[in-house]
Amino acid sequence: MSRLLRLLGSWSLSLGLFLGLVFVSQALAEPMRSPIPAQVTQIDGYPFPAKIAGLPRRQRTDYNEAGLGFSVRYEVPGETWADIFIYDLSEDLTSAEAQQAAADQREIALSDIQTAVSAGSYQEAKVIAKSEAVPYAMAHLTITQKGKTRNSYVFITVSRKNFVKIRYTTSAPNADQMADKFAAEYARLLSQ
């Protein structure tokens, strides 16, 4: 009987250690959101001023996985938001043809949005337009989420050995002008 108890004890200890490691690794891989102090204007060498094109900066999200980097959200809650993602996918982008790499990433982003439709995060996503004009590979979509249709834009470029992806979403009637202004202002900041 005591041998059975010892076996059960070591088995439960092993199971406990295994489950503990699983939960810890999941916790580490979860995105971590954090506020950005008001005096901060750069993160990892990239510009993140308090406002871009009238949108106030909100929070930083770290993705805690190699190559996925971080993002910073700018937002007027419920109306317009923009997430700027800085990441490299663990690739050496110094020798990549920047415009082609950005166009490839745009296609991956569009595929990810269609996956979100299939998973039920969006009811619908329709590509309205795509273009490649320096500095961005761009796509304009309409997305329907929780019964509300909004304009959404993806702008991607390569800067300082990383992909820079802007996902801009709004319900405003002048969506094209707003998205273009945000992307142009951030491009200007990147070039300084």
Domain of 89, CATH number, reads: 3.40.1000
d(CA 192, CA 25): 39
**19/4 same-domain check:** yes
What's the rounded mean pLDDT across residues 1-13?
A: 46
d(CA 116, CA 104): 19
pLDDT at 47: 97
**22/43 same-domain check:** no
**14/78 same-domain check:** no
**136/48 same-domain check:** yes
pLDDT digits (tens, 9 = 90+) for 36-68: 999 999 999 999 999 999 999 999 999 999 999
**10/50 same-domain check:** no
DSSP 71: E
Closest CA to 182 of 71, 43, 48: 48
**47/122 same-domain check:** yes
Q: Encoding tokens for residue 7?
A: 């076996």
- Indicate whether 8 pLDDT > 70: no
**153/115 same-domain check:** yes
**17/82 same-domain check:** no
pLDDT at 21: 39
pLDDT digits (tens, 9 = 90+) for 76-123: 998 999 999 999 999 988 877 989 999 999 999 999 999 999 999 999
**18/41 same-domain check:** no
**38/101 same-domain check:** yes
* Phi then psi dihedrals of residue 72, to 5 deg: -130, 130
**167/79 same-domain check:** yes
pLDDT at 96: 74
- Indicate whether 22 pLDDT > 60: no
**8/90 same-domain check:** no
Q: How many domains does the chain have?
A: 2
Handedness of CA 32, 178, 107, 48 (dihedral sign): negative
Closest CA to 186 of 141, 142, 148, 155: 155
- Which domain, by its residues, includes 25? 1-30
